Structure 1
Amino acid sequence: MQGPPGSGKCVTGDTQLLTNKGLIRMDDVPKYFTVRPDNTVEGLDVVAIDPKTLEWKKSQTSHWYKLPETSTIRLETELGIPIEGTPEHPIVIMSEETGQFEFRHIDQIKVGDWAVIGYDHQSFGTYTKIPHPDVAYLLGVLVGDGCLTIKDRICLSTADPEILNQVQDILSRFYDVQLTKQSGGKYDYELQSIKVKKILLGFGLQEVYARHKAVPEWVRLAPREYVVAFLRGLFDTDGSVEKKGAIQLSSASSVLIHEVSYTLLNLGIVNKMYARKKKYNKQNQYYITVYGDFLSRFNDYIGFSVARKHERLSLLASKQRNTNINRIPGQIQTMSSVWQSAKEMTEVNLDRAFYRQNFAKNTLRQLHGDRLPSVSSMQTFVAQVTQMAPQMAMSSDVAYLQRLASGEFFFTQVKSRTDGQAVVYDLTVPGPHNYIANGLINHNTLLARAVAGEAHVPFFHLSGSEFVEMFVGVGASRVRDLFQMAKKSSPAIIFIDEIDAIGRHRGGGGPGMGGGNDEREQTLNQILVEMDGFEPNEKLIVMAATNRPDVLDSALLRPGRFDRRVTLDLPDINEREEILGIHGKKKPFAEDVALRVIAERTPGMSGADLANVMNEASILAARENRTKVSQYDLVRSVEKVMLGPERKSHILSPEEKNITAYHEMGHALVASVLPYADPVHKISIISRGRAAGYTIKLPFEERKMHSRKEFYDDIAVSLGGYASEELIFGDLTTGASNDISVATNLARNMVMRFGMSREVGPVAFDDRGGTFHGPDYSQEVAAKLDSETTRLLKEGHKKALEVLIKHKPALHAMSKYLTEVETMEQEEFEKLLLMNGITPKQRKNSAEKDKNNAERQIPEAPKEGIEIVPHD
């Protein structure tokens, strides 16, 4: 969903933005805000959604772009809400597969997909050029049943004396004039006044035919009470309360209907737009309908001034209405998970009487897919499950469902899509990278956040993987366009993500494998040409990102092209501690939480892994009916993220349990005896993931470099379980398969990458080879490499056996104990080592170990709200 400003995610000029100055067309942004030559925009705030919390917020816009005419796709929803943009422009849809909000390109959206409409933003302007809301009401009446003529007349046609009296009163109070009855029509009135007409023109009322009418400019820019008064005047004249229980507004103007529709959404009133051809002239007549739950909101926020309409609406609003208008799709999986958890945690008697309740019946129908939950029924569901099990209030799934049912989202299916051609526009919204337009959540150009903010220059971003996908056959042409656009906006930065998608080594033989006619190669060649063509005064910087620098073509990495490399490593212990602190800011921690200890237990984890650790810990606490996350939860969540969930259903037979205990103790004993192996932190024979048991080893200190001696001992430790099975049982099981794979990879890397084989010497070999050519070394060398790998594995196996034979009594005693307790932490394991005459490993600074010993102890499970079941 990433693309350069103007080369992808753009919408047409008639798209209506919700801004800090009111409702404004996308192509009118320069009229109301300062747009500089470098496309930066000043003062433009839009309504955006926080992707994490799904809360609405005001966000500043940094750039506005106008681009040439291009191909577009226009979608229209069942509510009649359209969006037209380039095929790559993303909007938010509700995924029926995941039940989550998802940005999806317009060209990937199908008829029947659920678009997400945001409403009830209450975002209005602040301009009060119109002197009073009553004058805004007058403008509404004149847009509905009046007009301005080129002969300086103000005309009104109305058969309703209440409307006429209000208009006369407003004209008299503010302009000291009155309408007079026309002789030619029974219900026609006029005012001939150059002065008053000029004032009304200044407010944005137009001298146009009915089909060209629009909401006056200074109404759109006005505060809420003015906008509401205008709508009341418009609905008093052109609105009606239908017998079927709906409010309807009709107009010959498509623009007016769309502007009113988006204004109603802003007020929190969802409505439907549609068009019908009039029989007598075959012209379209456009309609807005308000129904269901939103009748009450219309009555409360806008209402009618005309008595008969007001009474009819009040009667409708007081009646029970259809609450199934706003349905929430895709939530079966989430609701099922919440329902199951609530049943497991509740103390309510789940008998027949419980399932006879309407709430339970409706819930089961929704979980079976018989009907979609409405906002009202989802609110009931959330309330009932939290009443059944109060601890469910901590569940992120419950919070998500609660947000969906907040009354700020409406889900409507896409009913049509058509192709078009139009001038397009783009915004950049740093931070949330989205904005509300036409009621839909639109994704803006996603710029490289940190660099764009620091550089204060235009930033052009393109994903390498999108080059060929999106521009098949014209990749080189698009590269030229991108660089030309950046040069025009210089100083500027171009950022190419996933450059390995197009920047791989050239050559390889044959079409599709990097040959001269390959699309990727043509695109790469054009990038090289463009980068060679920079002049010293062009002030253009090109950046790229990849996680496969080894496959990039050497031409890309020459001086003058990508000649500076910045490597982002996995976080070290201090960085992990800070990252854990960031992800734990909003989580309630118990007093025993020590994030430093968790950071020590998570070497090699990325920021995303650490975020997952925090989330899993919160889930564990919630499942066990506790309101705070403890150290016990964090330790267990680390193991879950590293190894997978415990497989409680996977029960080992006594024989398998015994073999697993000896296997894991084999690893642990070898690791404890060999001097260069990492110390053991935990041993368990409880299944996790696909493993029947596991042994966790963690270094005392993180290392950037590893020695040959360490690798020798690591191979022996990996084969410790294999050697233990062989020594004790005289047979082998499939449980050692992963250990053998790990040891083999390590031995092969020692020989082929690190130059640690005395026989082969300091030579590096690439064993990946080409698609057709195979490895770049001879069969004789391959045999030698295999021989050295086998030798290292045999030496490691021999070393492991020697350790276990020497400490066989300890192996028996400690394996038997592990069979009984199933899990051992470091402190308990080290006590057993001492009891069997083996000295545990210590830090070089033993005083430091003593100082931190209390912190390193793994806390017991909290007693409150959880039953501790002893091992059998």
Structure 2
Amino acid sequence: MRPKGTKGLRTPSSRSRQCVVESALLFTNRGLLRARDLIEGVPEQGVAFLQTDLDMLDGVATSDAVYHGSVASTLRLRLAFGYELEATPEHLVGILRDNTLIHVRMDEVQAEDRVLLRRGSSVWGKTEPGAFRCVRHPSASNLKIPSTLVLDELTAEACGLLVAEGTLTQRTVAFFSNTDEDNVEAIRQWVHSVGLSLERTACPLDYAIRSVILRQFLAWLGVDYVKAADKQIPAKIMLGGRELMRAFLRGFIEGDGHVDIQKGAIEVSSASERLLQEMQLALLGFGILSARRPKTVIGRDHIYWRLVIYDIEAYEKEVGFISARNQCRLHEALARNAKRKRNPNVDTVPINKYVRRLYEAARTQPSWNHREGRIFGSYVHGSHAPSRAALQRLLKRWEWDCPDECEAIQEFLSLPAAFLAVETIEEREARVVGVCVPEQHEFVVNGFASRTPPELTRNTGG
């Protein structure tokens, strides 16, 4: 089946090799898609016309073609906090080098560069519940599908709770285990909305949803019959819009998350690497930075994964919690954060040259004193990068006395981006996909601000 919007095929030129791996994720108007989803029906080494809205650093871009590549040499660029992109060496990514924003090839990225990571997304998939109404499974032709069995926010939130706290391997029943009555009530309301009941089991912490058709509906959504290590964000949630993803994240993090009041962060653990990769990028779509790292569990051979959300202010605003218990703990963590110095390395903007210019201008002002010099401190005399919060304080202090210097700094702060340090660059091989954006020449993949060449369509024959 050829992708929607496809009009024909052409042979790619030898220069059309700025590609990403098939598993890369992109925010599009069709949902949060893997790159392989864009080349469905396109033969290997073929190019297909395909119009799709894609997220870019400061708006929406529109692709007009995709290229289905074969196995190629790639580089995997891993950043601080666990964000990563694997692409061909020729692929262009945005970086901050020597206080200047530029695009360079993947094989030209240096260890001291800061890579631009897009925060937020201008493009999401469909949100209308009617677009995700359940289709009857052939083996269940004699079963009546309730008209209320649709993917809405209530269902998405329940899916999050079930993926986090459910046992989903059986085909006639789904089990849910949780001690918080608010979470149990959320599941109970959803189950009742489709005309079913939530049953207690012999274990006081376990509840059962016994319905073949409901379990098939969950499987249709993408809540598959898998164990913990193979869980992922349900496919229909990935195709859904902002509100459906928000509801799923709220449900999942409610179930598997923990508010650490002392650290001022939210921690999520999972046996599934893919699930936390997808969640990290979905959170980034809401502008929320998080750190993903492997962890070992005593007595377990399998590697587990931890996702830590430091920006709990943004999380409270964009996602939130279901239970009163976690809401209360989050408010305690926020209050504690407000009273203490934050970790300056979480969100830094390495534009020391512009800070030095502000320093030189500020020290000529009548209001300048030696205490002001200590505030600028290592930003001017050392290599320490200022945090976003520190720059905002400097702007608030000097915006009237030094407007030109402050304006230059404000331009960087206004970018919807984080500037993350490079951790590793690894040579690999993988199947690749190329995306052409002929007008804007920009798009975001795995959160990385990228550029695309016009040659993919201009220099093709057929």
Give the shorter-chain TM-score range.
0.7 to 0.9
Return closer, same or farther for 1:30/1:86 CA change in 2, 3 Å cut-off: closer
Of residues 169, 172, 175 in structure 2, which corresponds to 1:149? 169
The answer for the alignment partner of 1:46 in structure 2 is 54
The answer for the alignment partner of 1:202 in structure 2 is 220
Aligned ranges 1:627-776 → 2 under 5 Å: none
What percent of counterpart residues are identical? Answer: 23
1:459 matched to 2:434? The reply is no
1:100 matched to 2:100? The reply is yes
- Structure-1 separation of matches of 2:215 and 2:316: 32
1:125 matched to 2:125? The reply is yes
* Contact 1:34-1:43 within 8 A present in 2 as well: no
Aligned ranges 1:286-435 → 2 under 5 Å: 286-291=305-310, 294-319=311-336, 320=338, 322=342, 324=344, 325-329=346-350, 331-341=351-361, 348-349=365-366, 354-358=368-372, 360-369=373-382, 371-390=384-403, 392=404, 398-406=406-414, 408-435=416-443
- Kindly state the Cα deviation for residue 432 of structure 1 after the two structures are TM-superposed: 2.6
- Structure-2 separation of matches of 1:178 and 1:112: 57
- Kindly state the Cα deviation for residue 131 of structure 1 after the two structures are TM-superposed: 4.0
- Structure-1 separation of matches of 2:158 and 2:378: 50
- Structure-2 separation of matches of 1:255 and 1:407: 29
SS of 2:263 mapped into structure 1? coil
1:752-780 CA-partner distances (Å, limit 9, x unpaired): xxxxxxxxxxxxxxxxxxxxxxxxxxxxx
1:577-621 CA-partner distances (Å, limit 9, x unpaired): xxxxxxxxxxxxxxxxxxxxxxxxxxxxxxxxxxxxxxxxxxxxx
SS of 1:430 mapped into structure 2? coil
Q: Which amino acid aligns with 1:316?
A: A
* Contact 2:237-2:245 within 8 A present in 1 as well: yes
The answer for the alignment partner of 2:63 in structure 1 is 61
- Structure-1 separation of matches of 2:342 and 2:363: 30
1:437 matched to 2:445? The reply is yes
Of residues 219, 223, 240 in structure 1, which corresponds to 2:237? 219
Of residues 63, 69, 72 in structure 2, which corresponds to 1:70? 72
SS of 1:214 mapped into structure 2? coil
* Contact 2:114-2:419 within 8 A present in 1 as well: yes
SS of 1:417 mapped into structure 2? strand
- Kindly state the Cα deviation for residue 144 of structure 1 after the two structures are TM-superposed: 0.6
Aligned ranges 1:789-808 → 2 under 5 Å: none
The answer for the alignment partner of 2:29 in structure 1 is 20
The one of the two structures with greater contact order (alpha-carbon pairs below 8 A, sep at least 6) is: 2
Aligned Cα root-mean-square deviation (Å): 2.6
Aligned ranges 1:224-243 → 2 under 5 Å: 224-242=242-260, 243=262
Aligned ranges 1:538-687 → 2 under 5 Å: none
1:225-261 CA-partner distances (Å, limit 9, x unpaired): 2211111110111000123221011111111101111
- Most deviating of 400-409 and 415-424: 400-409
Higher relative helix content: 1
Return closer, same or farther for 1:430/1:248 CA change in 2, 3 Å cut-off: same
Aligned ranges 1:508-523 → 2 under 5 Å: none
- Structure-1 separation of matches of 2:110 and 2:254: 39
- Structure-2 separation of matches of 1:389 and 1:145: 54
Of residues 269, 273, 279 in structure 1, which corresponds to 2:288? 269
- Kindly state the Cα deviation for residue 403 of structure 1 after the two structures are TM-superposed: 2.4
Q: Which amino acid aligns with 2:385?
A: L
- Kindly state the Cα deviation for residue 219 of structure 1 after the two structures are TM-superposed: 1.4
- Kindly state the Cα deviation for residue 21 of structure 1 after the two structures are TM-superposed: 2.4
- Kindly state the Cα deviation for residue 339 of structure 1 after the two structures are TM-superposed: 4.0
- Kindly state the Cα deviation for residue 405 of structure 1 after the two structures are TM-superposed: 1.5
Q: Which amino acid aligns with 1:144?
A: A
Return closer, same or farther for 1:26/1:178 CA change in 2, 3 Å cut-off: same
- Structure-2 separation of matches of 1:281 and 1:109: 37
The answer for the alignment partner of 1:181 in structure 2 is 200
For structure 2, the 5+ residue unaligned runs are 1-11, 133-149
- Kindly state the Cα deviation for residue 297 of structure 1 after the two structures are TM-superposed: 1.1
* Contact 2:59-2:122 within 8 A present in 1 as well: no
Return closer, same or farther for 1:5/1:459 CA change in 2, 3 Å cut-off: farther
- Structure-1 separation of matches of 2:362 and 2:181: 60
1:645-689 CA-partner distances (Å, limit 9, x unpaired): xxxxxxxxxxxxxxxxxxxxxxxxxxxxxxxxxxxxxxxxxxxxx
SS of 1:61 mapped into structure 2? strand
- Structure-2 separation of matches of 1:254 and 1:157: 22
- Structure-1 separation of matches of 2:320 and 2:42: 37
- Kindly state the Cα deviation for residue 221 of structure 1 after the two structures are TM-superposed: 2.1
The answer for the alignment partner of 1:282 in structure 2 is 301
- Structure-2 separation of matches of 1:280 and 1:104: 45
The answer for the alignment partner of 2:144 in structure 1 is none
- Kindly state the Cα deviation for residue 333 of structure 1 after the two structures are TM-superposed: 2.4
SS of 2:276 mapped into structure 1? helix
Q: Which amino acid aligns with 1:222?
A: G
Return closer, same or farther for 1:28/1:199 CA change in 2, 3 Å cut-off: same
> Structure 1: which 4+ aligned runs deviate by more than 6 Å?
33-38
TM-score normalised according to structure 1 size: 0.46
* Contact 2:56-2:442 within 8 A present in 1 as well: yes
- Kindly state the Cα deviation for residue 34 of structure 1 after the two structures are TM-superposed: 9.7
Higher relative strand content: 2
The answer for the alignment partner of 2:264 in structure 1 is 245
- Kindly state the Cα deviation for residue 24 of structure 1 after the two structures are TM-superposed: 0.8
The answer for the alignment partner of 2:115 in structure 1 is 115
TM-score normalised according to structure 2 size: 0.85
- Structure-2 separation of matches of 1:35 and 1:349: 69
Q: Which has the larger radius of gyration?
A: 1
Q: Which amino acid aligns with 1:167?
A: I
